[in-house]
Amino acid sequence: MRRTALLVCATLLTGLLPLAAAGTAAGADDPAPFPVDRFEGEVPFASPPAGGIFTWGGDADDPPRLALTERADAPEGAKVLTGTYDISGYGGFTHDFAFAEPAHNWSASKGIRFWWEGHGNGKKVNFELKDGGANGEASELWTTSFTDDFTGWKQIELPFTSFVYRTDYQPVGGIDQILGLTAMWGYGLTLPVGISGQFAMDGVELYGKADQSLRASVTTDSAVYPVREGGTAKVAVTLGTTGSAPLADPVTVTYETTTGGTASGGADYKPVHGEFTFPAGTASGATRTIQVPTRKDKSAEPAETIPLKLTVTGAKAPAQTPQIVIDAHGLPYLNGKLPVQRRVADLLSRMSLAEKAGQMTQAERGAVVATPGDIASYDLGSLLSGGGSTPTPNTPAAWAKMIDGFQLRARATRFQIPLIYGVDAVHGHNNLVGATIMPHNIGIGAARDPQLAYAAGKVTATEVRATGVPWDFAPCLCVSRDERWGRTYESFGEDPALVEQMETVIQGLQGRADGTELKRNDKVLATAKHFVGDGGTTYGSSTTGSYTIDQGVTQVTRKQLEAVHLAPYQDAVDRGVGSVMPSYSSLDLAGDGQGPVKMHARADMINGVLKGRMGFDGFVVSDWQAIDQIPGDYASDVRTSVNAGLDMIMVPNAYKDFHTTLMAEVNAGRISAKRIDDAVSRILTQKFKLGLFEKPYADTSGAADIGSAEHRAVARQLAARSQVLLKNENGLLPLATSQKVYVAGSDADDIGNQSGGWTVTWQGSSGNITKGTTILAGMRNAGGSVTYSKDASAPTTGYDVGVVVVGETPYAEGAGDVGNGNDLELSDADKTAVDRVCAAMRCAVLVVAGRPQLIGDRLGDIDALVASWLPGTEGDGVADVLYGKRAFTGRLPLTWPKSEAQLPINVGDTTYDPQFPYGWGLTTRTKITEGGDKTLRALSAEAGEAQKAHDEKAGRALVTRARLLVQERIGGRITPATAKPFADADHLLLTGRYGAAVEKLRAAYRAA
């Protein structure tokens, strides 16, 4: 009786309510509504993977408070779902069906409806469906909304045809982008932001009979059909049905070439029109072909478009009108035999301002995935995948198909300028599951092997290019000066000389410095980042969210800037690096009178130093949405950054706003046409060098090498060389395969932890996230007798030695800053594991982390200590040195501090009292130079001669012999008097001053 009364009230209010769907009478042949949620207690409050209702939000305060409340005015039953909310970021609630149960099939219904108690606040409430995939947390999200502009109860009807694919966020990047409705995993509501409110909801149910357009669709095999002048375009039109069921009712397709394109009917092509029908009973997948002949006039001209209008009756029509494109032809820029400079000049002279602005715009793939036609509409020059932005499935073939699909859209532009697609492949093709994941840069710095750095770049380039990606946002050339920085592991080390030595990775990525190898299918354009000083930001200076040091302020004198932070960039320019990315950070240069200025706004550094003094002739690309951090409004951000020397802006989502604003600034005279032409010329030059005009699509011939044994062998060798032996009492390491080994610790058997951030997703994650070998598995592969107990809770008696693998869990950028939920201490679980194992037996502790960890209070109880850094997917490499297949040869790329209070601490500091000095690294080689100061004096003389003769190989070998001798002498007695000259010697070695390096080592020897 209560429900009947309310329905009468709802009918009386219908004329006052804005949603026509409310109160809509059911059709005579409509099925009875099917209940989804009654909120009478049948659905619990529970979090995935259990089925139930759960809340979520941007921070601790954003999730709403929910309850099942008994109300006399409940539209259905006795209880309703009620809630209160006060959301500053985002928040809402979801009903997920249990993972263990079959997904629900809603394909027979017209839509979903529910009762909602309105408060007339005028705010939109988003309603979301979870469609397809393995479960509710791996499904597509489809969304629509209704407006709370009424009061009292109202039944909201949402037809499934009103839902659109979410482009801003997908849990796994999308399944097929088709709302199939046959595998539904639940629904969710996103509540309004910026108000304190309450809500009540009841009676969620499916209603109505599905239109055939929800069960049948007509698609074309492409949206763009490039064809050479005089050729015939063939458009395949395919019928698809939900569940591949035979067609219930006939579907008719009428087609015609229409006006609206740039080609002329009759002169450029033969107009066509017609109609065909898929009769009832037609099987899903049936195809018809439409042919559009083009005509040849032999004149040189840009590309011309021909829209093909399709009118579909009885099924869902294609989302976009297909376009036939007569390829551009006969124009000089298309002639691959001409010099690049001439091709650039010719193309630039033909382009409009809108086309030039498009080339300077870089959008994230997710921003255009639902509207790919915008690639042509806005003449976009570049797309990227942010960290974790991947196709589904995340396979090489899916990457190539995705990028080729985007590249095809660019063929519909006048000059068919190809896109340049970029990714953050910072330690291998790390977004791709199954790729070879190299040690992070900090481990490469520890390996001190330029040839291996080159090999790592070469493997990365091969795997990246094989998926259709020609551009890598790597390497990071930051000089990390404070281990509290969350990006420490992206640096090769704290010494600019070490960073410069590892820049051979650029040649591994790009090939020869003149760029002539870029068009090869195993090379990619490299990016030197982040210009300049991102590794030197002051702790506490960041103004980005809860970050403490990342994106902060670098406060230096000009001399310090030149010596420490700028030095690696001149080397990168000399190596022909094709692009440079400025830093999020600000530069506060003593004496320049400007104070802290965002690097994206520093014309003196980008135009003046980088492009001017250093002679950089590539292009400068912004970091992710970084120009938004420049003070001022958006127009000012665009004007300031472009005038400062930025050539391409990673918007990454606001590509329409940027495109419009950039043109407005040029038209107003606030950005010169000359600056625009310079920017576009630089971008086009690299596209020509990459061979994209001749081969815009993916060359997947190298895909079989992705994750190959040969590639993994390089990563394995690099992982082994990166291991730094800090302590080795009584020769505990290497282990013998005959020894019984007790293994413990959180990072011993975790491929995600040992790979670190920027692995599959931006932040990375623990667990079995990609293919590879954990350290534990590597030890077993080495033939060791191994027992594993993660928390060391298993009995510890009867073992010869313990190996405890501890360290950090993954993070990236400022999320890893110390003070932002992180510190440099081991976790309590890891401390317990170390204490238990090392109290019971002789033990080795491996620290898997992107930076030093503070273990000083436990150092006396540890027999052997290894800095394993983040070795990547090849744990066999770590096992190789543990069991003596390879010798420990790695050296510290960073100073290992005793306490956080010492930070920042770096080689060259006046006061220097570390736990282990920069350059420290014991070896397990059997032969170490014997002798004392007399021997060192002789080595110093020989090293001096090698220096004069510029004999790098001999000089390094002599310094290495001296270093190992001195380390043997110092042992565990590291003092300021021994540490400082020892670290200074390593810096001198890297700068080629071999005699001086040995003299510093002599000083350390005498102080020991």
- Give the residue numbers annotated as catalytic, written as ranges: 623, 813
CA–CA dist 57, 188 (Å, integer): 12
* Closest residue by Cα to residue 1 from 113, 94, 112, 77: 77
Contact criterion met (CB below 8 Å) for 889 and 919: no
Positive or negative: CA dihedral 825, 828, 829, 833:
positive
CA 166, CA 762: separation in Å to the nearest integer? Answer: 20
3-state secondary structure 293-342: EECCCCCCECCEEEEEEEEEECCECCCCCCEEEECCECCHHHCCCCCHHH
- Strand-pairing partners, residue 529, are 476, 581
Q: Which amino acid is at 643?
A: N
Task: Kindly give, in sequence order, each residue whose CB lies less than 8 Å from that of residue 709, ignoring residues fewer than 6 positions away.
Answer: none
- Asked whether the beta carbons of 461 and 953 are under 8 A apart, the reply is no
Of 853, 927, 926, 931, nearest to 892 (Cα)?
A: 853
595, 443, 540: which is closest to 814 by C-alpha? 540
Residue 103 is which amino acid?
A
Q: Which long-range contacts (CB under 8 A, 24 or more apart) does 56-59 make?
A: 56/91, 56/92, 56/93, 56/94, 57/87, 57/89, 57/90, 57/91, 57/92, 58/87, 58/88, 58/89, 58/90, 58/91, 59/88, 59/89
Q: Which residues, including other chains, have CB under 8 Å from residue 69's CB and lie 6 or more apart?
A: 79, 80, 81, 82, 200
Classified as helix, coil or strand, 109 is coil
Query: Which run of H or E residues covers position 464?
Result: helix 450-465
SS3 assignment, position 156? strand
Q: Which residues contact 359 (CB under 8 A, 6 or more apart)?
A: 351, 379, 381, 382, 417, 648, 679, 680, 683, 684
636: helix, strand or coil: helix
In this structure, what is the dihedral angle of CA atoms 350, 352, 357, 359, given to the nearest 10 degrees? Answer: -30
- The 3-state DSSP class for residue 685 equals helix
Which tokens hold the place of 16?
A: 């006052």
Alpha-carbon distance values, 546 to 232, 542, 583, 824 (Å): 58, 8, 18, 17
Q: What are the structure tokens assigned to 832, written together?
A: 């317990």
- Counting Cα atoms < 13 Å in the Cβ hemisphere of 923 gives 20
DSSP letters along 855-886, please?
Answer: -GGGGGG-SEEEE----TTBHHHHHHHHTTSS
Question: Do residues 270 and 284 lie in contact, with contact meaning Cβ atoms separated by under 8 Å?
Answer: no
Instruction: Count how many Cα atoms sit within 13 Å of the Cα of residue 984 in the half-sphere of its side chain.
Output: 21
Residue bearing tokens 């790919």? 372
Q: Is the separation of the CB atoms in 495 and 918 below 8 Å?
A: yes
The closest alpha carbon to 983, from 487, 493, 453, 447, belongs to 493
Residue 497: strand, helix, or coil: helix
Give the N- to C-terminal CA distance of the chain in Å, as an integer. Answer: 94
Residue 546: name the closest of 15, 57, 59, 160 by CA. Answer: 59
